[in-house]
Amino acid sequence: MPGSPICRSMSHDSKYRSHMQELIFDLYKDEATGRLFLPKFFKELVEAGIRKDDPRLEQMIRQVKETEHLEEEILVDTHNLQLDRDAFKSLLDVALTPSDSLNMSFDSAARNLPPAARLTSSLDSNASSLANDIALSRALYISRDMFCGCVGNSIGVISKALKNQLVIPDWPGFTNVIGEIFEEIKPNLSGNVATYIPQLARANPNAWAVSVCTVDGQRKSWGDAFKPFCLQSVSKPFTYALVHDEIGADELHSHIGQEPSGRLFNDISLDHNKKPHNPLINAGAIVAASLMKRHASLSDRFDFAIRQFRRFCGTGYVGFNNAVFLSERETADRNYALSYYMREHKCFPESTNLQDTLDLYFQLCSIETNCDTLSVMAATLANGGVNPLNGERIINNRACRDTLSLMYSCGMYDWSGQFAFRIGLPAKSGVAGDLIIVIPNVAGIAIYSPRLDTLGNTVRGVKFAEALIQRFNFHNYDSLLYSDCQKLDPRKSLHETESESTSKYLFAAKLGDISAIKRYLLMGLNIHDRDYDDRTALHVAASEGDVACLEYLLSKWRESPEPQDRFGRTPLDDAKFFKHEESIQMLQKAIDAWRISEGD
Ligand SMILES: NC(=O)CC[C@H](N)C(=O)O
C-alpha cells in the first residue's frame, strides 16, 4: 500500500535501518583498510552488555561465517601462510567470540592452533602479529556490503548499544558493583537446604549464582549460573500469568484471592471467601494449575506450560526433572490434604480431576532451569510481558501488571511485608533456593543458593536483595520527588540538552575516548559542533596532542581543518602552543590537502 502509514513506516524503517548500517560502518571502519574489524566491533557490544549468544545477533554472526568462505589463495598470496581450513575457522570463531577475554583471544588462538595446522609462515613468529596479519584477511575485516548484508535485523540492538541508549549505559560500572555484592555475600553459609522433598535435599548447599538481564537484553552472570535447579514456587508467578493471560482476570480472581496469607506457604487455610489467599502460595497455585488449559489432556496441558515457560526466556535451558516430580508426588500429603480441603469448599472448577491437577502442579514445580536463563524470564516480567531478547509478547500487559503486584505483596511467603518494606521490589522465592527479583522497566535478577531461612526463603538471596537496595535507587519509593536519595542510579541519563551533549562530546575528545565520540556521532551530533568559545573537537585533540583521536576526527572532518575559536586560534595554533610535533605535522598535512581540494 504505497503511501499508507504502514507502508511509509515500513519504508521509513528500512530507510532508517540502511542509514544506520551505513553510519555505523563508517564510524567503526578501519581507516587503513576501509573495512570493519569485526572483533573490535563485537567488543563494543560486549562492553555494552550484549552477549554473543544474544538471539538478536545470531543472524549476523551466522551470515558472516557463512558468507565468508575461506579463500586460501588470499591467505597464501597475501600472507604466504600454509593454513588449513579448520585452523582458520577456529581462529575466525575466536575472533567472533566477543567475550571479556577477547583481547587475549587472538594471541591465545594463534598459539593454540592445532599442531597439525601450526602456521608456517615467513611472518614474524610472534602470535599476535601473526594473528593480526590473519585478521587482515577478508574474514575478520568485512566490507561495507558484507556488513550491511549481514547485519539485518541486528541493527536495532546494535545501534542502541553503540549509541549508549541501553537502559543501563554504564554496564561495566553497574556489573562491577553487582560483582562486589556477589563476593560480599558468598561467605554467608547460614540456613539449611529443604529436605521435605527428598530430591531437594541432595542440592549442593554451597551453590551460589546471580544473573542479571535488562529489558534491553544486557546480560551478565556470576558463580554457578548454569547449574540446574527446579523452579518450585518460582514457577507460581509464571503459572498465574499464563492462566491470567488465558482466561482473564475476572474469571481467575473468582477462584483465587489477592491477599498475603500471613502463613506458611503450604498452610491449610482459605481466606474469608473460602478461596486461596493468593496464587503464590501452594493453595492458590494448585487452583491456578486446575484452571490452566483445563479442557485439554494432562499431557497437552504440561506441553503447553513448558513451551510457554520456554518462551519467557527464548534461549537457554528449560527442562524437566522427573526425579523431583516423582519425589514430590510421593511426599505430598500436605498438598493432597490441602487440595481435598479446597475441594470440600468448592475452590476448583466443576469436574476438576484432582489427581491430574496435583500432577500438573508438581510438574510445574519440577520444571528445571538455571540462573542465567531464569534472569531472562524475570526480565520479561520487568519488560511488561515482552521477551527482551526477541521482542515476543508472552503475556498481556495486564497479566504482567497483576503478576508483579502479587509478587510485590505475596512473593516472599511470611516475609513478604518485610521484603516489600525493605527492598520494595516484586520478587518470588522457591524452596530449591531460587529467587527472582524484578526491577520494573529495568531488569530481572535471578539468584540461586539452596540454604533457606526458617520461612523458606534463600538466605543469600535475601541478603543480596538488601545489599542491592543499599547501593542502587531501585526501591519502589526511591524515585519520590525531592528525594535526598544519594544511591546510584545506573539507568540511562534520560535527557541531555544539545549543549550538554556538545560539551560531553568535546570532553570525550579531551580524554581521547574515540568510542564515546562515535556514540555521539551515531546519536546525530555534528562532528563540527563548537562550544560557547567556538572551540571544536579538533582544537581539543590538538591541545592534548592525542594523535589517535586527532587522526580519527580528521578522517571524518568535512570542513576546513582550520576552524577559528572566539580567540582566533586554530587547532594548529594550539598544537604549536603545546609543542605537539606529531599533531602539528598531521594538521599541516590535513590543511594542505584541504587547500588543494578547495583549489586554493
Ligand atoms: N515454596 C515452595 O517452593 C514450595 C513448592 C513445593 N513444590 C510445594 O508444593 O511444597
Q: pLDDT tens digits, residue range 423-440?
A: 999 999 999 999 999 999
The model's pTM:
0.81
* Residue 116, pLDDT score: 34
Pocket test for ligand 1, best of 229, 232, 413 (most atoms within 8 A of CB): 232
* Residue 167, pLDDT score: 95
Q: Does ligand 1 lie within 6 Å of residue 419's CB atom?
A: no
In this predicted complex, what is the ipTM? 0.97
Per-residue pLDDT reduced to its tens digit, 183-220:
999 999 999 999 988 999 999 999 999 999 999 999 99
Q: What is the mean pLDDT of each run of 10 residues along the chain (600 residues)?
A: 40 74 85 77 88 87 63 41 54 51 44 42 43 51 82 85 90 96 98 93 96 97 97 98 98 97 92 97 98 97 98 97 95 97 97 97 98 98 97 97 98 94 97 98 98 95 98 91 82 69 93 91 90 96 96 94 96 97 97 90
* Residue 309 in grid coordinates: 515457560
Q: How far is the CA of 372 from the centre of ligand 1 (A)?
A: 22
Q: How far is the CA of 415 from the centre of ligand 1 (A)?
A: 16
* Residue 412, pLDDT score: 95
* Residue 228, pLDDT score: 97
* Nearest CA owner, ligand 1 atom 4: 233
Integer angstrom CA distances of residue 88 from 70, 85, 131, 279: 8, 5, 10, 55
* Residue 312, pLDDT score: 98
Q: Does ligand 1 lie within 6 Å of residue 414's CB atom?
A: no
Q: Does ligand 1 lie within 6 Å of residue 410's CB atom?
A: no
Show contacts of 562-570: CB within 8 Å, 24+ apart: 562/591, 562/594, 563/528, 563/530, 563/534, 563/536, 563/538, 563/539, 564/534, 565/530, 565/533, 565/534, 565/535, 565/536, 565/539, 566/533, 566/534, 567/533, 569/539, 570/539
Q: How far is the CA of 430 from the centre of ligand 1 (A)?
A: 7
User: Which string of b and e fits 215-242 if b means at least 16 CB within 10 Å?
Assistant: bbbbbbbbbbbeebbbbbbbbbbbbbbb
Round to whole Å and give the CA distance between 508 and 475.
33
Q: How far is the CA of 358 from the centre of ligand 1 (A)?
A: 12
Q: Does ligand 1 lie within 6 Å of residue 282's CB atom?
A: yes
Domains annotated on the chain, with CATH: 13-76+133-165 (1.10.238.210), 179-471 (3.40.710.10), 494-598 (1.25.40.20)
Round to whole Å and give the CA distance between 452 and 460.
8
* Nearest CA owner, ligand 1 atom 8: 282
